[in-house]
């Protein structure tokens, strides 16, 4: 659970990102050398802040759905009653990694139409695997002495799950969610190919108009979000591990 950024760099990157989203015109001079024939240096076909918030919302909804399903499957297959479903569960969560997101979008559009819905389906499927595998690892590597003590204290299976297993496994689970979020942030950009409102809209506009400044600013905003969110989840993992006495 390594930390990417020292505090001063983290705050600096956050301040720079917020400044660009709220006052993009301040950066026009830096990006102007990347455009040709007087083309705009700052994306002017929509509001960057709004697109960023919609991008984050799409990733958050898909990750939340993937988290609920993946952790529920991990809990099921680590109970005696559901152990036989482990191979099937692994096959199901691997579907998202087997099919490229573009293929998922192409299959989803005829069923649910254009917009955010096909993007949510693609991100949901793509995010299942890291969360499931980490949840499975966390739930199957718990200290035997702690589990025996919980049984000796007369806890029911549900009480052990809620009070002991999930809290102890939470740092590993958070690592899986972190990976899923970072993957989702990058993958969500392709949602704009099916009319979803994401930062991919900025990148696509740049490619269509041969405007490198648009492509760069869309990519850099996504990259900055990924670094900051990765770092935030790493901090949550360390806090959860410290609380559980694992570091």
Which tens digit of pLDDT belongs to each residue from 188-215?
999 998 989 999 999 999 999 899 999 9
Radius of gyration of the chain measured on its C-alpha atoms: 21
202 or 37, greater pLDDT: 202
Q: Per the structure block, which two tokens stand in for 41?
A: 């240096």
Rounded to 5°, the CA angle 157-163-155 comes to: 40
By the 8 A CB rule, do 215 and 207 touch?
yes
Nearest to 108 by CA among 237, 15, 222, 196: 196
* pLDDT recorded at residue 154: 84
* pLDDT recorded at residue 1: 41
The helix (H) or strand (E) run that includes residue 122 is: helix 116-140
**What is the SS3 assignment for 142?**
coil
Q: How far is CA 201 from the centre of its chain?
A: 19
* pLDDT recorded at residue 245: 65
Superfamily of domain 47-243: MetI-like (1.10.3720.10)
Task: Tell me the C-alpha distance between 67 and 64, whole Å.
Answer: 5
* pLDDT recorded at residue 122: 92
For the chain, give the longest Cα–Cα distance: 76
Domain boundaries along the sequence of the chain:
47-243
**What is the SS3 assignment for 106?**
helix
Mean pLDDT of 165-194: 93
Digit-coded pLDDT (tens) for 110-121: 988 898 899 999
Digit-coded pLDDT (tens) for 64-102: 999 999 999 999 999 988 889 999 988 888 887 888 888
Nearest to 218 by CA among 9, 17, 10, 5: 17
Mean confidence (pLDDT) of the chain: 89
**Range from 57-61, 105-109, 157-161 that averages highest in pLDDT:** 57-61
In this prediction, residue 247 has a pLDDT band, given cuts at 50, 70 and 90, of: very low
Residue 246 has pLDDT above 80, yes or no: no
Please report where in the chains the tokens 């704009």 appear, as a residue.
192
Count Cβ atoms below 10 Å from residue 215 Cβ, excluding itself.
Answer: 19
Residue 2 has pLDDT above 80, yes or no: no
* pLDDT recorded at residue 172: 94
């Amino acid at each position: 659970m390594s930390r990417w950024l020292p505090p001063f760099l983290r705050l600096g990157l956050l301040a720079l990102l917020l400044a660009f989203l709220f006052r993009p015109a301040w950066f026009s001079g830096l990006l102007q050398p990347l455009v040709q024939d007087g083309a705009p240096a700052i994306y002017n076909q929509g509001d960057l802040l709004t697109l960023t918030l919609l991008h984050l919302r799409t990733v958050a909804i898909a990750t939340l759905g993937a988290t609920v399903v993946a952790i529920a499957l991990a809990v099921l297959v680590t109970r005696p009653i559901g152990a036989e479903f482990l191979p099937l569960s692994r096959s199901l969560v691997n579907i998202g990694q087997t099919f490229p997101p573009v293929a998922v979008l192409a299959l989803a559009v005829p069923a649910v139409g254009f917009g955010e819905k096909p993007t949510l389906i693609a991100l949901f499927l793509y995010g299942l695997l890291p969360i499931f595998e980490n949840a499975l690892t966390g739930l199957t590597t718990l200290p035997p002495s702690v589990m025996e003590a919980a049984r000796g204290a007369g806890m029911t299976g549900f009480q052990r799950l809620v009070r002991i297993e999930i809290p102890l496994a939470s740092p590993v689970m958070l690592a899986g969610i972190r990976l899923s979020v970072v993957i989702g942030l990058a993958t969500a950009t392709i949602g704009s190919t099916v009319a979803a409102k994401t930062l991919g809209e900025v990148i696509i506009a740049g490619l269509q108009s041969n405007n490198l400044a648009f492509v760069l600013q869309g990519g850099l905003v996504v990259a900055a979000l990924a670094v900051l969110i990765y770092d935030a989840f790493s901090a949550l993992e360390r806090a959860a591990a410290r609380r559980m006495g694992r570091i």
